[in-house]
Amino acid sequence: MKYVAPRWLPGGQLQTIWPALYSRRGFGARPAYRRERWDTPDGDFVDVDFLQDGIPAGETRPLLVVFHGLEGSSRSHYSEAFADLARERGWACALPHFRGCSGEINRAPRAYHSGDHAEIGWMLQRFRAAHAGPLMAVGVSLGGNALLRWAAEVGTDAARSADAVAAVCSPVDLAAGGHAIGRGFNRQIYTRMFMRSLVPKALQKLAQHPGLFDKEALLAARDLYAFDNVFTAPLHGYKNTEDYWLRASAKPLLRHIRIPALVVNARNDPFVPASSLPGVHEVGPCVTLWQPAHGGHVGFAKGRLPGHVRAMPDIVGDWLSTQADTHPEA
C-alpha cells in the first residue's frame, strides 16, 4: 500500500480541504442511488442508499457497505468515490445514513455518535441476511471508529455479519481528536462547519422532545467538547464529554478484533494527531495498520489539478477484496 501526495497539494490542511471541495470523486458519472427506509427496533428509522448501476440485483456478487463520518451522507466526496469504485468493479454498494443524516430528522430522542456499535451491528446483520455474497464494510472518520468498536465488541461473532472491515481516517482516540479539532485553525474552520449543522439538528430534537436538554447551554456551546457535554454524551448514556470520548474510543479495544481489519490514518491528518495513532504493539493479529505520511483527513488526492479522490478507495478496495476473497475462482 502506497500513497504519495501530488506536489501541487502540500500539507495536511490543503490535502483535507481541496479534495473535499474541488477534486473529482470518480471516473464515471455521479452515482445514482435507490433509497430504502428501514424501521429500527426502537421505533425509529434509518435511510439506506443503494447504488443503481444497471446490473441486475444478484445475491452472490460482493457487497460494499460504506458508513459515513460526522454529518456526512451518501453524497459526501468519499461516499461517492467508494460508490464509483464499487460500480467499476461490479460490486453492489450500500450507503446507510446514521440517524438524522439523510435529510430528515429522526423520530427518537437519540441521534448517533462515535461509539454507536450497536447500530452498526444491527445494520450489518440486516445486510448479511439479505445478501449471500462476500460483505465488506468501510467506515470513514466517525463511522470507522464505530465500525471498529463493533468488530471489537463482538469478537469472533463479527464474521457472521462481515468478511472484512476498514476504517479510514478514524479518530480511534476520541480525546486526542476532539482536542485537536478544538484548537487554532481547526477550531476556526472545521469546528464551525460541524457546529453549523449539529446545533440546528439538536434544536429540532428539542422541539420534538421538550426538556431533552438545556437549550441555553447548547446555544452557548462553541466547540464539539461543549456540544458533546450538553447533547451527545447525556443522550447516549455517557456522564459527560470525557466519559464519552474515553468509553467510545476504539483504540483500547483493537486487540479484540477477530476479522480482517484495516486501519488507515494519514500522519498529517489535522483532526487525528499522529502521536495518538495505534502502533503495531497495540493491535491484534487481525488488524493491519496503514499510516502514510500524507493524505490529510479523508483527502488522498491524486493526479493533475484538480485531482481525484479515488486513490484511497482503490487501495482500500484492493485490500478488502483480497481479505474477503471476492474472487474465489482465482
Which residue among 269, 276, 294, 314 is the active-site one?
A: 269
Which residue among 76, 102, 114, 141 is the active-site one?
A: 141
Q: Where do we find the cell 484511497?
A: 312
* Positive or negative torsion for Cα 108, 147, 163, 64: positive
Give strand ranges (E) for 71-148: 92-96, 135-140
Give strand ranges (E) for 141-293: 164-168, 261-264, 287-290
Q: Distance (Å, rounded) from C-alpha 146 to C-alpha 149?
A: 5
Pairing mode, strands 164-168 and 135-140: parallel
- Interhelix angle for 117-130 vs 142-154, to 10°? 80
141 carries an active-site annotation: yes
269 carries an active-site annotation: yes
Q: Distance (Å, rounded) from C-alpha 254 to C-alpha 104?
A: 34
Q: Residue length, the chain?
A: 330
Q: Would you state the cell numbers that stand for residue 112, as one nine-digit string?
A: 448517533
Q: Distance (Å, rounded) from C-alpha 159 to C-alpha 109?
A: 31
Which residue among 131, 256, 297, 308 is the active-site one?
A: 297
Residues 6+ positions from 167 with CB-CB distance below 8 Å: 138, 139, 140, 144, 145, 147, 148, 250, 261, 262, 263, 264
Active site residues: 141, 269, 297
